[in-house]
Every structure is written in C-alpha cells, then in structure tokens.
C-alpha cells in the first residue's frame, strides 16, 4: 500500500515538473517576443498610391528583410489614387497630431504648402551627416531646395516631359521620329498626320502644361510665377504658347478643338490609344500608365520641342517625392528608409523611372515595359534617347498658391480658346488676374 502511494506521489511530482517547465518555456518565449517587439521600430508611410499601382507588399518586404528591427506600415489614405483627396485626409491627420514618419507628395507645390505648417523636416543635416551631395545622387531639379538651399524631400519617380507619338501614323505619313525639333516642326507634323479619321495632335485641359507649352522649352522660369515670387506673365513664351495652341486647334485644325474636349469630356488616354490622335505632349508616366488600354501600334517618343532650332535642348520633369515628418519619433530610421526607397527601392518597386542618377535607364525601361499589356508596343530606343538627352531645367520650390494662379489664368485662357476673347485682351486680363492672386497671398 505504501509502495503504491509512493508511486502515485512520484507521478504527481513528475507531471507537475513537466507542466512548470512548459509554463516556464512559454513565459520565456513570451518575454522574448515582448523584448523583440519592444526593439522593433515601426514607421508609418502615407501615400495616395494603392497596392495595385505601388507594389508596396513586395517592396516593403525587401526592405524589412534587409533591415531587421524595422517595420514599415503603408497607409494608402485613398483607394481612387486621387492626390487631392489624399492631401485632405493627410492634413486632417496632421492637424489631429498624428505621428507622420514618412509622407509622399505628388508635386513640389503640395510640399511647399506644408513647409510653413511644420509638417516636414529639413533634410540638409541628414544628408550632410551621411556625407552625400543630393545633386550628385538625384536629378534634384524635380524636388528643388527652397530659396535658402534647404531640401525638404527626395525625388522618387522622374517624369520627363516629352511627346508621345503613334509610330505607325508616322510611318504612314513618311515621317521620322524627331530627335531635335521645334514647335514649328510640331505644327508641320500635326498637319501631315491629320486625316479624316484623326487629329495629328491632342492638347488636354491642364493649363499647367497645355496652355504654357513653350515655357517648358526654356532652361528656367518655366512657371507663371518666378522664383522671387513675381509674375512671369510678361514672358513672351506665355503668349506664344496660347497662340500655338489656338493655331493648332482653330487655324490648322490639326489638333482636337478645346470646345470638343470640354463638351465631350475627352480624355488624352482614350484619344491616343484609340488612334484618334497621333501626338500628345505628356510626362513620361505614360510609359506604363495606359489606363486599361493595350495598344496594337508602336509608341515612339520625341524630346520636348524647342522654340528655335539653335536653342539648347532642355529637359523639364516633375516627380513624386518622399518627405520626413517633423513630428516623427524615429527620424534616423525614417531617413534611412527614404534614401533606400528613392534609390534601390524604386527598382524593386518597378513602377516608374527613378530620379536616381545611378539608374541604368535602358535596363529600368525594359523592366518597366515588361509589366505593360503589350511590351512590344514601346519603342525603347527613342524613349531612352529622350530621357537621357538635353540639360535639366533649373526649377525652384514654387509658391503654395500656384494652383490658384493657374486657375485665374485658365479662366481667361478658356475664353480665348473658345473664340470669345481676342489674344491681347486675354493676356491683359490674365496678367491682372495672376497679379491679384500674388497680392492676396503676400
């Protein structure tokens, strides 16, 4: 009996020991997990670019694998890819005191608006501590410093302004892909490309591009306001741009009339990919952003036309950019991610042409084009030539009210394009309207 009782007691002790050991192991594991979580730095990235267009999952996974202890949360604040809607939500988050580690902007104007509000941190100290010169690493013209030489963002996507062309239409008309041409040449091409079924040219509704075409042929002062905040309306290129558009649409009838564009709500993608227009001036995001179309023709690319044949060829571009949140609690880690995302990360993401100067342009283009609905449709040679030719324009961080300036300009320009107002009156009224916007914002 005593022996049986002893066996039972030993069994209880053994089971209890095993349970305690298991509990101890679980407790240790949980402690380790807690310590690991405490050591992990979590950064929040804010953007308007969704997963489909950003490939964030694979991009962030690549960074986290190479940087254990850092977790990146991508917050796409809108699903419709509308940067305006995104900014509204971003401003609300900032106003409520949310910690914004990494912030993306689609234009330097959007960035400039938020510098006085204290949303973003200057980058010069971080760049200096790293011992790098931003101008040597990036095409920084698209993300310029302010008047004091302070940088507030790093460029990601590099959108070169170029002419997108239907090469089949060029071949049919006996025209070569231009490598050095003027706006007079563009007009001549548009005439020869126009048939009963299509226009040779299409100019969309955006005043920021299509009502100031010749400003982008210059090496600087490409906007309606100069770097010193004064009006640029007296620049002859402004009036010449309006005259160019008017002649294409209403005199030569070689470009879709503005009246048709607004009344029929035409879209530049639809007009080009359905072969109703042979040429469209556009930034290079159109290399891949086809909006569901799969062209059966070859797309060629030409440099932005010059004003005169002996002028220097300039290359104007815009960019998506990434900034460091001023109230981030992990600024060093956030800066490190910014540098990766704006360089190697752009190649991993494989969604756009990077502003990183070390990019092998042809290799990047081949990888990008391979993701399209019809890779064979893109003429890589002409595209690579455009992206690597010409001198980068000298840009500046624009006024935060630039949208208001262009809206005032557009109100007068539209009357001219519709035949409701003469050019002289349009220029006088537009100059007055732009000056009033400047005065209101002083």
Handedness of CA 259, 262, 264, 268 (dihedral sign): positive
Residue whose entry in the numeric block shows the structure tokens 């797309």: 299
pLDDT of 129 strictly over 60: yes
Q: Does the pLDDT value for residue 205 go beyond 80?
A: yes
The contacts of residue 292 (CB under 8 Å, 6+ apart) are none
The predicted-structure confidence for 309-319, as pLDDT tens digits, reads as follows 999 999 999 99
Report residue 305: phi and psi, to 5°. Answer: -60, 150
Q: What is the pLDDT of residue 39?
A: 85
Tell me the HSE value of 131 on the side-chain side, using a 13 A CA sphere: 0
CA-CA distances (angstroms) from residue 79 to 32, 61, 248, 270? 38, 21, 37, 22
Q: What is the pLDDT of residues 272-310, one digit of tens each?
A: 999 999 999 999 999 999 988 999 999 999 999 999 999
**DSSP H stretches of helix in 264-395:** 268-273, 331-341, 344-349, 361-369, 380-388
pTM above 0.85, yes or no: yes
Helix (H) or strand (E) holding 302: strand 299-303
Residues whose CB is less than 8 angstroms from the CB of residue 344 and which lie 6 or more positions away in sequence, other chains included:
none
How many residues appear in the chain? 442
pLDDT at 34 over 70: no
Q: Is the pLDDT of residue 137 over 90?
A: yes
Do 180 and 303 contact (CB within 8 A), yes or no? Answer: yes
CA angle 276, 265, 316 (to 5 degrees): 70
| 1 has pLDDT over 60 | no
374 or 25, higher pLDDT: 374
Percent of the chain with pLDDT over 90: 86
Which residue from 311, 322, 329, 331 is spatially nearest to 349, judged by alpha carbons?
A: 322
* C-alpha dist (Å) from residue 81 to 77, 84, 212, 436: 9, 9, 26, 33
Instruction: Report the chain's C-alpha Rg in angstroms.
Output: 28
Tell me the backbone φ, ψ of residue 378, rounded to 5 degrees: -95, 125
Helices (H), 174-326: 183-193, 207-210, 236-246, 258-263, 268-273
């Amino acid at each position: 009996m005593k022996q049986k009782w002893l066996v039972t007691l030993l069994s209880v002790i053994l089971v209890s020991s095993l349970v305690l050991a298991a509990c101890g192991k679980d407790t240790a594991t949980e402690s380790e997990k807690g310590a690991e979580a405490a050591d992990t730095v979590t950064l929040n990235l804010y953007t308007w670019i969704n997963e489909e267009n950003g490939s964030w999952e694979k991009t962030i996974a690549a960074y986290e694998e190479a940087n254990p202890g850092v977790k990146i949360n991508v917050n796409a604040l809108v699903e419709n890819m509308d940067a305006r809607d995104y900014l509204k939500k971003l401003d609300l988050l900032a106003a409520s005191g949310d910690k914004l580690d990494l912030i993306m902007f689609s234009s330097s104007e959007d960035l400039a608006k938020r510098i006085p509000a204290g949303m973003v941190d200057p980058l010069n100290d971080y760049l200096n501590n790293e011992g790098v010169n931003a101008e040597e690493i990036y095409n920084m013209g698209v993300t310029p410093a302010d008047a004091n030489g302070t940088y507030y963002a790093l460029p990601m996507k590099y959108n070169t302004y170029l002419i997108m062309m239907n090469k089949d239409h060029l071949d049919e008309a006996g025209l070569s892909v231009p490598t050095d041409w003027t706006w007079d040449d563009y007009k001549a091409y548009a005439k020869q490309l126009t048939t009963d079924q299509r226009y040779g040219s299409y100019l969309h509704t955006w005043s920021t591009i299509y009502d100031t075409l010749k400003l982008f042929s210059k090496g600087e002062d490409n906007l309606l306001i100069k770097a010193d905040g004064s009006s640029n309306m007296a620049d002859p290129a402004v009036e010449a741009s309006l005259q160019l558009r008017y002649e294409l649409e209403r005199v030569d009838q070689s470009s879709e009339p503005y009246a048709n564009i607004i009344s029929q709500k035409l879209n530049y993608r639809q007009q080009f990919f359905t072969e109703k227009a042979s040429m469209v001036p556009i930034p290079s995001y159109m290399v891949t952003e086809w909006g569901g179309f799969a062209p059966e023709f070859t797309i060629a690319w030409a440099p932005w036309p010059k004003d005169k044949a002996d002028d220097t060829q300039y290359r104007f571009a815009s960019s998506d950019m990434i900034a460091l949140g001023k109230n981030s609690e992990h600024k060093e880690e956030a800066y490190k991610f910014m540098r990766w995302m704006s360089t190697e990360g752009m190649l991993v993401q494989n969604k756009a042409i990077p502003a990183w100067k070390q990019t092998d342009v042809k290799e990047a283009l081949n990888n990008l084009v391979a993701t399209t609905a019809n890779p064979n449709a893109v003429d890589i040679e002409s595209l690579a030539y455009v992206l690597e030719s010409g001198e980068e324009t000298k840009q500046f961080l624009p006024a935060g009210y630039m949208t208001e300036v262009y809206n005032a300009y557009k109100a007068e320009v539209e009357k001219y394009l519709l035949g409701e107002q003469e050019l002289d009156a349009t220029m006088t009224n537009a100059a007055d309207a732009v000056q009033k916007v400047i005065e209101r914002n002083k």
